[in-house]
Amino acid sequence: MSQGSALLRPVTLGDLKLPNRVVMAPTTRCRPPELRVLYYARRASAGLIVTEGTLVSDQPVPFPQVPGLFTPEQVAGWRRVTDLVHTLGGRIMVQLWHAGLTPPDAMTPSEIATAVADYRSAAANALRAGFDGVEIAANGTYLIAQSLNPRLNHRTDAYRVGPRLLLDVIDTVLTTGCRVGVRLSPYWCATDSTPACPDYIPDGETLSRYDDVVRELDSLSYLHLRGPAAFELDAFARYRKLFDGFLVANNGFALDSAEAAVESGIADAVSFARHFIANPDLVTRFALDQELSVADRAFNYVGGPVGYV
């Protein structure tokens, strides 16, 4: 790939200058805090790093060794990460995450207000920790995605109609003054289809709901979209027509398709997860047309340095 390639061209995300359009996507890895510093530092050549999902409170904690941003100790730990990434010339945002409730009981208005306030507190902590901004996780099967799903959201109050919870979270996080992105996965079960998640299989009803959601997101610094498993550029073109801001496309991209997405204007940048797990120097490998290593998924969540740093 030449240095003039679309992926390697610098771009401006609001007032944040990115050296290239290769974004590191959030990847949950379940590692202790002391390993995260080296993990993210080795990937600082990405145009932008988006961290693994980081809990906004201790209610709930879905599984061991996932990070948070609700204590002074966590803020200090993340500060070590951001300081080194910035020293190496990188840019890094933290993904703010609420896993939802198990069992999935209906939240009371008070619980919703508490969750929204937790996002604001975590965003303020993100600024204290030195992050360049935050990404709100509205993807997957977690709390905000549950609220967006017409098959799962059976509320009869104001949180039944439209993306009310997501918009409340965005509005409160924006009051901290930080840059805010959102990650959505309209095609979730086209990505991770199992018999256990029929409610997430995309159809006309769910995709229409996501169309309405995207139309409401003009205040964002960027929109991060995860596409279907079977790569389909048109899936991103659908939302490019609805969102005029900075769009990051994710899932199923190879080098040539990522280049085409940026060159065509369908996406402003492309994010990679598995490629960054196995290739900390992914940007260099793309630039030099080098062969990419393949991640061993057996080490994704084992907790030690092997298959991680």
106 secondary structure, DSSP code: P
From the candidates 39, 40, 119, 142, which is the catalytic residue?
A: 142
**Distance between CA atoms of residues 66 and 58, nearest Å:** 11
Strand-strand pairing, 246-250 and 269-272: parallel
Place of tokens 């609700």: 70
User: How buried is residue 309: exposed, middle or buried, by Cβ count under 10 Å (0-12/13-18/19+)?
Assistant: middle
Active site includes 301? no
Place of tokens 């079977």: 230
**Distance between CA atoms of residues 67 and 94, nearest Å:** 10
**Distance between CA atoms of residues 34 and 11, nearest Å:** 32
Instruction: Map residue 46 onto helix, strand or coil.
Output: coil
The catalytic residue positions are 142
